[in-house]
Structure 1
Amino acid sequence: MGVTAIVPAYNEEATIGQIIEALLDCPEIDEIMVVSDGSSDRTAEIARTYPIRVLELLENVGKGGAMKAGVEQANHDVILFVDADLVGLKHEHVAALLEPICAGRADMTVGVFEEGRFATDLAQKIAPFLSGQRAVRRDVFQKIPQLEDTRYGIEVALSRYADKHGVPVEMVHLKDLSQVMKEEKRGMVRGFRDRMRMYWEIMKSVRN
């Protein structure tokens, strides 16, 4: 059962190299793909310096659209999604996300930060279903309708589908893993604005 790791990325030139290097260190992964979602920085350029696949979308379609585009191009039956702004990603995290699916116990896993940064740990304890660190069988992902319209609501759509259709899901604790907050990447004003837009897109998915 092969594994494709997909990294949806929008203007993540500062961290994309570290994420790719961590994934290249994982023998469980057969294919790595970065989906640059209309990035205006060097995200795609940096990704192309590594022996991986790079899918460059000319327009920003949102996280859900980027993930779907990646899955459509993937060559394997298990999909691993990781965010492009993670801090501290290691082989042990990847192995923990993949093991329940490869062992046949689950069709989807959801990673929850633990013992990382207080802010990101707290956010995921409150709403673990929003985690972007997941593994899922490709055939399950492809059954979910209209993912290209979900943008940041993609994780809500995945969790809702799994709950509604009885998809076996296993929660996985990811120790010492966190991510860069939007305010740190883009400054307080723009970061706060982007965070509010993200929450709005998530709420739209919750209401739909």
Structure 2
Amino acid sequence: MKETDLRIVAVVPAYNEEERIGAVLKVLRQSTLLNDIVVVNDGSTDDTYNVALSESGVTVITLPRNMGKGAALVAGVRYAEADIVAFFDADLIGLTPHLVDALIEPVADGRADMTIGIFKGGRRRTDWAQTLAPFISGQRVIRSEHVLSIPGLEQARFGAEIAFARYAKAKGLKTELIPLPGMTHPMKEEKLGNFHGAISRAKMYWEIVKFLISSSKSASRIRRVLGRVEDRW
């Protein structure tokens, strides 16, 4: 990658991730391309704030209550005042500095308007979900001005990634999918328990279905999705 004067900042939205966020931040600190790291503590009720604050070189801002992922992303982008923002979930497993930089480079070099990281070879269920619908990944890099122009993002909770996908399609953004070998994250059922995790997952997938249906190519997309399901099962 060429030398650049672009300011590139990682934004990590976090809600009750005291057990996992420290490991993610340690990896982000090793990136050769990031100028700063901003954690947005989305009204956590555990020790997420203090764990994040204990990492040197990390800035932590706190929302007054749990406002959802979209609001956390927007708050982080506004605070960062960066040219390019790199979004990473706070519960990632298997993240490496190389993968961080691999996500950033295409946007920083001008080869892509947005990159999306896709889990590969981590866990079958998370790999399957992101192969089925890559736009649901929380790992992405994009210019800040795009983020602040996305309609409804600040109000989005489960649908934050859907808002990105709609905007990218409407604006014709050149998007590059970046494989993230060995990466995964805990399933919602593991974090929230079987009952609440299942409800959370159902809400997320409903947002995905609505996005597919709203697409002008929804019929062919759904056929492709069903084909992938058959292949995997």
CA distance 1:58–1:166, change in 2 (3 Å)? same
Q: Which position in structure 1 is the counterpart of 2:163?
A: 157
CA 1:38 to 1:203, structure 2 compared with 1: closer, same or farther past 3 Å? farther
Partner residue, 1:138: 144
Corresponding residue for residue 33 of structure 1 = 38
Match of 1:13 in 2: 18
Greater RCO, CA 8 A, separation 6+: 1
8 Å contact from structure 1 (residues 153, 204) kept in 2: no
Tell me the percent identity. Answer: 45
Name the TM-score, length of structure 2 as normaliser: 0.84
Cα RMSD (Å): 1.6
Report the secondary structure of 2:103's partner residue: helix
Q: Are 1:87 and 2:93 matched, yes or no?
A: yes
Question: Rg bigger for which structure?
Answer: 2
More strand by share: 1
Q: Secondary structure at the match of 1:46?
A: helix
Q: Deviations over 1:132-160 (max 9, x none)?
A: 10000111112212211111211111111
Q: State the TM-score, normalized to the length of structure 1.
A: 0.94
The equivalent of 1:195 in structure 2 is 201
- Report the secondary structure of 1:86's partner residue: coil
CA distance 1:202–1:41, shift in 2 (3 Å): farther
Match in the other structure for 1:116: 122
**Runs of at least 5 residues in structure 1 that lack an aligned partner in the other structure:** none
Q: Which residue is equivalent to 1:24?
A: 29
Unaligned runs of 5+ in 2: 1-5, 215-233
In structure 2, the partner of 1:167 is: 173
Query: In structure 2, how many angstroms separate the alpha carbons of the residues matched to 1:149 and 1:114?
Result: 30
Query: How big is the shift at 1:196?
Result: 2.6
Write out the 4+ residue segments of structure 1 that deviate beyond 4 Å after TM superposition.
Answer: 200-208
Tell me how many residue pairs correspond in the alignment. 208
Q: Would the alpha carbon gap of residues 172 and 160 (structure 1) be closer, same or farther in structure 2, given more than 3 Å must change?
A: same
Residue 179 of structure 1 aligns to a residue whose secondary structure is coil
